[in-house]
Amino acid sequence: MEQQVRAILAAEVNEYDAEELVALSCIADGPDAWFAEAVLSAGGRLEVTAPAAYAQRTTTPVRVLWPKGASR
């Protein structure tokens, strides 16, 4: 299933001009991170929303993945 979703994401992302492609993601583990990777692979930019306030409010640990090519 993961490979199918990644393929769909890549196909959709590649429909856009890389210079104009900007994605917004929390890059959570799973499809959020796959989307971020697809955008970066296509030459787009990534804006990350950090769920830190949620983690502090609920004391739930947050695992953030930094896709290859992303800067912190």
Quick check: is 72 in a domain? no
Using alpha carbons, select from 25, 28, 29 the residue that is nearest to residue 40. 25
Question: What pLDDT, on a 0 to 100 scale, did the predictor assign at position 55?
Answer: 57
Quick check: is 42 in a domain? yes
Quick check: is 71 in a domain? no
**Total domain count, the chain:** 1
Question: What pLDDT, on a 0 to 100 scale, did the predictor assign at position 29?
Answer: 85
The answer, yes or no, to whether residue 59 has pLDDT greater than 80, is: no
Range(s) of the domain holding residue 54? 2-58
The answer, yes or no, to whether residue 63 has pLDDT greater than 70, is: no
| Structural contact between residues 46 and 25, judged by C-beta atoms closer than 8 angstroms | yes
Q: Give CA angle at 24 (22, 28), nearest 5°.
A: 135
Quick check: is 54 in a domain? yes
Mean of the pLDDT values across residues 5-25? Answer: 94
